[in-house]
Structure 1
C-alpha cells in the first residue's frame, strides 16, 4: 500500500536535511554554508507542506497554487485555475506560503523557528555577494545551521512522531569553528557588514529559555592540556567494559537541575491543560529510565533499593510538548 501523501513529503524532507548535514560536515567543501542553506530550506519547505497536507486530510489541493484568469472584459475571473509551471506541471506553495497557512492553525511556528528560516534564506539569497570563508559569516552560518537542524528534529517528532535525534545531527569538527581572535579582527566588505547586522538582528528575538527551539545555537569549545593516554572521549553507557568516569554531585545537578516539584511548577506555567493526574504520571514514569531526561540520586549510591530522589533535565519538556497544550 502506498504511504499517505504527508508521509512521503516527510521522507523527502528528511532526505533533504540529511543531505544538507552531510555536505556541511565536509570540511574541504568550499561552498558548504550556502549549499546547506539551500538544501535545508528545501527540507523545511517539504516538512511544512507535509504538515499542511496532513491537517487537510492529505488533500493535495491544500498545497497547490490557484489563480484567476483574465476574462474577455479584462477583469479577473471568479473561478480559480490551477497554476502550472513551465513544464506544464502544477505549482505548489512556497515556504513562505506554508508559514502563512500554518499561522491559521495551532501548529503555527514559533518565532525562533521563523527567524531561523529567514536567516537561512538571507544566506542563500545573498550567497553571490559574500564569501563564507569570512570568519564572522562562517560562525553565524554555523550557529544558524545547528539551530535549523535542532528545530527540524523537534518538529518532526512533535508533528509526525518521527524521532531523528539519534540519526540526524550536525557533527561540527574543530575546523568549522573559527578562533575568537580571527572572528573579531576580520575585515568585511559593505555587503558582508549589512548581512552580518541583519542576521544578528534576527537572532536577537526575545526567546523562552525553556523553548526547545532556537534562532541560532552558540557552539563553544574548551581546550585543556593533557596526556594523550588520559584524554579519551567518553559517552554515557551501561556497557560494563566501558571506561568508568566519575561525576561529582555538582556535575549531576547541573545536568538535572529540576526535582519533581520544580518539574510540576514548570509544566503548570508552560501548559494550559496540565494536571498532576494519571495521564501525567503515565507519560513521566517511562522517562525515568532514560538518562536524556531524568536521573535518580540514591541515598546509598551502591544500593539500588535505598531511598532515592528523581531529578529531571529540561529536555524532558520536549516530550511533554507532544501531549499538552502550550500556554
Structure 2
C-alpha cells in the first residue's frame, strides 16, 4: 500500500517511520534530511545518463533507460529496506517526490510494505527548513572573549535541561583561524542548515533559547540570515573571565594540537597579528611555549572581540563576572542575571 505524506507529517512520525532517500550518493552528500538513509536508485553516473536521455530524446526513452539500469537492483533495494524498516513501514523521497521515489514506492508496495511517499521530496524539506529560521525565538546570546568557557557553559546548561543549540558543533568549526582543531571537517552549507533546522524544530518559542555569540560565518559556513539578524537584536551577556583562566582553558583545548597546524593558522592571520607578533607566536609554538603563544594570539582576538561588542547597542550588552572553570556556579550567576533582564 502506498500513500502520500507531507514533510511536516513525516517529521511528526520521524522516530517511528524510517526514511529512505533514493537520490544519488552525490545529491545525498550535498544535503539530506537528518536521519534519512541513502538508498540510491541510480549511481551518480547513471543519473547523468537518464537526465541526458530525457533532455535529448524524451521522457519515455528516459524511463526505459531507467528500468534497464535498475533491472537487477530491485531485490537488493527490498532487502535493504527490510533492514531499514523490519516492520515493513517506510517513507521514501527523491528530489521533488517524482519518478524515482514513485518507482521505489511502487516496488516496495508490491512486496508488501506500507509505503509513504513524501510530497515534494527533498525540496519540501528545504522549504520547511527555511521556515524554521524565521520563527520568532526568544533568543539569549552568550558572549565573552576567547577562552571564557562559553561553549562549556552552554553544554552544561543543556545537560541541566535548558534550551541550547551549539552552532559551532553543527558547523564543525570553533570559529577562529584554528577552528577545525586539525580534525573537524565542515558539512556543506546545505547540510549545516538542514541540521540546524532539525534542532530548531524542537525548541519552544516562549522559553529562552541560548546561542553563543558568533560572526555570521563560522569557518566557511554561514548562519542563515533571518536567524543571524535575530541574534544581533537579542540581549547579549558578556562573560568576563580573568585572562589567566582563559589561558588555562585554551591550553587545554589547543595546547596539544600539532605545531605545524598551529603555525599554519597563525600565518593565516599574520596581517592582523602583525609581523613581530606573528614571528614571536610561531617561535613560541616551535619551542613548545604554548602559554606564550596563546597570550600573543589573545591580543588579536581580544581586540577583535571588543570591536564586535562595540557594534552592538550598549543597552543590549550586560557584563557578568564569571570564573570560567566552575560551570555550576557560573550557570547560577548567568540564570540570575538573565532572569533580572526579562
Q: Same fold (TM over 0.5)?
A: no
Per residue, is there more helix in 1 or in 2? 2
Larger Rg: 2
TM-score (norm 1): 0.24
TM-score (norm 2): 0.23
Per residue, is there more strand in 1 or in 2? 2
